[in-house]
Amino acid sequence: MTSTPSTPSTFGARLRAAVDARGPLCVGIDPHAGLLAGWGLPDDAEGLRRFALTVVEAVAPHASVVKPQSAFYERFGSRGVAVLEEVVAASKAAGALVVMDAKRGDIGSTSAAYAAAYLDPASPLGSDAVTVSPFLGFGSLDPFVEAAERHGGGLFVLALTSNPEGPEVQHARLEDGSTVAGRVLDHLRRLNAGAEPLGSFGAVVGATIGATEEDLAFNGPVLAPGYGAQGGTTADVRRIFGAAAANVLPSSSREVLRRGPDAAAMRDAVRAANDELAALR
C-alpha cells in the first residue's frame, strides 16, 4: 500500500491559530549596524549572530510571527546568510511563524527560483511566508502563488507601503480608474476567496499611511509595518483598518530590538504590545 503524502496545513490556518494563541504582533529581526553598536556588539558576522539569536531566544517563544529582513544578513555575505538560516530554524523550533522579508519579484521564471528558496521547506531559508513586490505585474507572482499552494506557505504582497515615497506608484490610476494598490488588493481578494478560516495571500499596508479610500477588507492577513519606530500606533491601526483590523499583524522591529540585549525587556515589549492590540480583535 502506498502512503499519501500529507497535505500541509495552509499558512492562513496556521497564522490564525498562532495569533489566537499569542497575539498579532509581528517582531521584525532587523540587525541594523546602529543596533549592534547599541548592544555593544561588533559590526561583523559574529556580532550579527549574537544579536539575531539573542532576539530569537527572547521573542520567538512568545510572538506569533517573526520577520527577519534579509538585507541585514546579506550585507555580511555567506556568513550572514548562514545566520539567517539559523534564525529561520530556531524561530520555527520556538513555535513562531517566519515571514522572510525579502521583497522579491522578477520575471516569472526567476520568481520560481525565489519561491523555491523561500517557500520550499527543503530549502535552508524555507519560511512560512515571504514578502513580494507586485510591480512587475501581479501575474509575475504566479510562481510564488503556486509554491505557496504546494507547500502550505503564504505571501505578503506590497500594496500600500509605509514609506513616504510609496504613493507615487501605489496611488497611480489605471485605465479603469482603480489605483495600483486597489488592483493589488483585488487580486488578493480573488486568491483568498472561500479560504477557511483565513486565506494565505496577504497584503502589506503600512501602519503609517493615514486615511485611505481603498477597501482594505479581504479574506487574508495584512502585514502592517511602521508600528512603533516609524510612528504607527494601535489607534492608527484601528483608524486605518476599521473592522478589518482583526486580520492585521502590526509589525515592529526597532521599537522592540532597542530594548536588548535585555531578553526580559524585549519579551515584555512584545507582551505589552499584544495586550494593547488585543482590543482590535
Ligand X SMILES: O=C(O)c1cc(=O)[nH]c(=O)n1[C@@H]1O[C@H](COP(=O)(O)O)[C@@H](O)[C@H]1O
Binding stretches for ligand X (CB under 6 A): 28, 30, 69, 101, 131, 161-163, 204, 206, 225-226, 228-230, 251-255
Asked if 20 contacts 249 with a C-beta cutoff of 8 angstroms, the reply is no
In the complex with ligand X, which residue's Cβ is closer, 186 or 255? 255
177: left (phi over 0), alpha (psi -120 to 50) or beta: left
Report in angstroms how near the CB of residue 184 gets to ligand X at its nearest. Answer: 13
Residue entry with cell 483598518: 241
CA distance 5 to 213: 44
Catalytic-residue membership of 67 = no
Report in angstroms how near the CB of residue 52 gets to ligand X at its nearest. Answer: 13
In the complex with ligand X, which residue's Cβ is closer, 110 or 230? 230
CA distance 66 to 82: 17
CA distance 193 to 213: 22
Report in angstroms how near the CB of residue 5 gets to ligand X at its nearest. Answer: 32
In the complex with ligand X, which residue's Cβ is closer, 75 or 150? 75
Report in angstroms how near the CB of residue 136 gets to ligand X at its nearest. Answer: 17
Asked if 138 contacts 187 with a C-beta cutoff of 8 angstroms, the reply is yes
In the complex with ligand X, which residue's Cβ is closer, 10 or 70? 70
In the complex with ligand X, which residue's Cβ is closer, 8 or 259? 259
Spacing of C-alpha 148 from chain mean position:
14
Report in angstroms how near the CB of residue 224 gets to ligand X at its nearest. Answer: 9
8: which DSSP letter?
A: P
C-alpha distances in angstroms, 71 versus 135, 170, 228?
19, 23, 20
Residue entry with cell 499519501: 4
Considering the candidates 16, 32, 103, 254, report the single residue annotated as catalytic. 103
DSSP letter string over 43-88? SSHHHHHHHHHHHHHHHTTT-SEEEEBTHHHHTTHHHHHHHHHHHH
Catalytic residues: 103
